[in-house]
């Protein structure tokens, strides 16, 4: 079956990615690598939708990686994710198991799939000093000499132009470092629902989490543990709005309504990111979310076995 070094299961929030990935793992001696920017945090379970119970299939524990690896309140970014992914991927490969990347954070997915190492590029004070007397027009000319401009905001704000020049120069001078990333043959599968159905799934899941899963209690516990309210707000969505509710900044009805809208908007941004990936050359094999779970898994197994 192993025609791909990496199987990827992606999709918007509330599409059931985890259940597909874990069931697939049980069928192909697989292990899950999470590509979710918030599930890395310990103690942030309900709001991030970890659904850890789904990592047991027919009594078998499915190994997973990059979940619960950072304390809540700390910061984690795409550079750290790429490094941690490689560690997990190489570990799984050494044991001759099937790596399955599962998640909906587009930036994290692309950090792996684009096949080049991301570097936290330091500020170059010497370069900045040499540019400080340049006009905006001169900076723009320098920037264009380094690269083709795709992001127009880089040419609008002076600080953005300086940073863009800094990054472009670093990349030109450190090609070996940036390209030092293993070429991973991957096959991508996306779980897809019609927008109206997905909207209903999101709202029903949110109601369930409020009623049965203790989402507010989770945030109360994080605040009581000493994590600053502003830090929790930084994590967005559930953690931002529930913190506002606990602090009395919004009432319960506002909390549900605003959170429901915010998650729908988040889902749309995810869908936009996946469409952009396709425009940029990634082939995503879309699977109808309405199919029974086993049929979704069989679609993947059949495709990988071709």
Render pLDDT for 21-61 as a digit per residue (tens, 0 to 9).
999 999 999 999 999 999 999 999 999 989 899 999 999 99
Q: What radius of gyration, in Å, describes the C-alpha atoms of the chain?
A: 21
| Residue 259 vs residues 41, 75, 189, 197: alpha-carbon distances, Å | 20, 23, 28, 18
- Tell me: do 10 and 88 sit in the same domain: yes
- Tell me: do 24 and 86 sit in the same domain: yes
Tokens matching residue 83: 């490094």
Q: Which residues of 75-91 are buried (b: 16+ CB within 10 A; e: fewer)?
A: ebebebbbebbeebbee
Distance CA 71, CA 64 (A): 17
Q: Which residues contact 197 (CB under 8 A, 6 or more apart)?
A: 289, 290
- Is 295 within a domain? yes
* Strand 98-103 versus strand 30-34 pairing type: parallel
- Is 26 within a domain? yes
Q: Which residues contact 49 (CB under 8 A, 6 or more apart)?
A: 13, 39, 205
The closest of 83, 106, 143 to 270, measured between CA atoms, is 106
- Tell me: do 189 and 294 sit in the same domain: yes
Comparing 11-20, 128-137, 160-169, 230-239, the range with the smallest average pLDDT is 160-169
- Is 259 within a domain? yes
170 and 124 in contact (C-beta within 8 Å)?
A: yes
- Tell me: do 138 and 56 sit in the same domain: no
pLDDT at 167 over 90: no
Q: What is the pTM of this model?
A: 0.82
- Tell me: do 136 and 96 sit in the same domain: no
Residue 106 lies in domain: 6-116+181-304
- Is 46 within a domain? yes
- Tell me: do 139 and 247 sit in the same domain: no
**CATH code, domain with 18:** 3.40.50.300
- Tell me: do 109 and 249 sit in the same domain: yes
- Tell me: do 229 and 255 sit in the same domain: yes
- Tell me: do 107 and 146 sit in the same domain: no
Which pLDDT score, from 0 to 100, does residue 152 have? 46
- Is 216 within a domain? yes
pLDDT band at 122 (very low <50, low <70, confident <90, very high): confident
Within 10 angstroms of residue 193's Cβ, the number of other Cβ atoms is: 20
Of 108, 138, 173, the residue that ends a domain is 173
- Tell me: do 102 and 244 sit in the same domain: yes
Average pLDDT over the chain, rounded to an integer: 90
Which pLDDT score, from 0 to 100, does residue 153 have? 45
- Give me the phi and psi of 23, to 5 degrees please: -65, -40
Which pLDDT score, from 0 to 100, does residue 21 have? 98
pLDDT band at 149 (very low <50, low <70, confident <90, very high): low
Of all residues in the chain, the percent with pLDDT exceeding 90 is: 70
Q: Which residues of 110-140 are buried (b: 16+ CB within 10 A; e: fewer)?
A: bbbbeeebbeebeebeeeeeebeebeeeebb
pLDDT band at 156 (very low <50, low <70, confident <90, very high): low
Mean pLDDT of 188-212: 95
Of 138, 153, 173, the residue that ends a domain is 173
Q: Higher pLDDT residue, 176 or 191?
A: 191
Number of domains in the chain: 2
Which pLDDT score, from 0 to 100, does residue 266 have? 96
CA 192 to chain centre: 17
- Is 79 within a domain? yes
- Is 1 within a domain? no
- Is 62 within a domain? yes
Which pLDDT score, from 0 to 100, does residue 145 have? 86
* Strand 56-57 versus strand 60-61 pairing type: antiparallel
- Tell me: do 137 and 259 sit in the same domain: no
- Tell me: do 134 and 199 sit in the same domain: no
Comparing 194-198, 202-206, 210-214, 217-221, the range with the smallest average pLDDT is 210-214
Q: Higher pLDDT residue, 147 or 55?
A: 55
pLDDT tens readout for residues 83-117 = 999 999 999 999 999 999 999 999 999 999 988 77
């Amino acid at each position: 079956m192993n025609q791909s070094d990496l199987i990827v299961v992606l999709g918007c929030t509330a599409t059931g990615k985890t259940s597909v990935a874990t069931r697939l793992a049980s069928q192909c001696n697989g292990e899950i690598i999470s590509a979710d920017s918030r599930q890395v945090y310990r103690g942030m379970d309900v709001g991030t939708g970890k659904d850890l119970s789904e990592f047991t299939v027919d009594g078998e524990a499915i190994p997973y990686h990059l979940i619960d690896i950072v304390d809540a309140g700390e910061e984690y970014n795409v550079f750290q994710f790429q490094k941690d992914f490689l560690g997990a991927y190489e570990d799984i490969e050494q044991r001759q198991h099937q790596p399955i990347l599962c998640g909906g954070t587009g930036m994290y997915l692309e950090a792996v799939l684009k096949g080049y190492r991301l570097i936290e590029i330091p500020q170059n004070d010497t370069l900045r000093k040499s540019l400080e007397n340049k006009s905006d027009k001169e900076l723009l000319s320098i920037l264009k000499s380094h690269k083709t401009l795709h992001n127009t905001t880089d040419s609008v704000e002076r600080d953005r132009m300086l940073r863009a020049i800094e990054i472009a120069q670093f990349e030109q001078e450190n090609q070996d470092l940036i390209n030092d990333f293993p070429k991973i043959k991957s096959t991508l599968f996306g779980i897809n629902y019609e927008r109206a159905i997905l909207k209903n799934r999101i709202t029903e899941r949110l109601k369930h989490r409020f009623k049965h899963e203790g989402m507010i209690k989770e945030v109360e516990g994080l605040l009581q543990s000493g994590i600053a309210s502003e830090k929790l707000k930084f994590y967005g969505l559930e953690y931002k709005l529930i913190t506002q509710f606990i602090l009395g900044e919004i009432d319960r009805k506002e909390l549900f309504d605003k959170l429901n809208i915010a998650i729908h908007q988040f889902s749309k941004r995810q869908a936009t990111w996946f469409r952009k990936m396709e425009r940029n050359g990634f082939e995503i094999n879309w699977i109808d979310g309405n199919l029974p779970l086993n049929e979704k898994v069989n679609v993947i197994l059949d495709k990988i076995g071709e």
